[in-house]
Amino acid sequence: MDRAANHELSKMKEPDPRRISIVWHETAMMQIGKAGITDGLVKEAKRLLKSHKYIKVRALRSSRENASKEALFEELCRQAGATLVGVRGNTAVIYKL
């Protein structure tokens, strides 16, 4: 593999800052409810990530019994195979390339 092709491959794996900025301004695509992170929620996250690549997730206050917001979003990312971009308030943006 030559250098140009390798550069293009590594570029594809990096998040697009412009897309991330756009997603932060959209409404949340999914919500974590009282039940927390369930199998159905993870399945839906995977489906949304497959079609959109970047999604905004909102966590209800009742979804975080003893865990922090960051821990809740990181667990969702771990189970869905995604990466956490950032957390603002009760919302987060995650992506999967």
CA distance 46 to 76: 10
Question: Where do the structural domains in the chain lie, given as residue ranges?
Answer: 15-95
Q: How confident is the model at residue 26 (pLDDT cuts 50, 70, 90)?
A: very high
Fold of 15-95: Translation Initiation Factor IF3 (3.30.110)
pLDDT digits (tens, 9 = 90+) for 41-85: 999 999 999 999 999 999 998 887 777 899 999 999 999 999 999
The whole-model pTM stands at 0.83
User: Which residue, 83, 81, 89, is CA-closest to 20?
Assistant: 83
Kindly report the backbone phi and psi dihedral angles of residue 91, in degrees, each rounded to the nearest multiple of 5, phi listed first: -125, 155
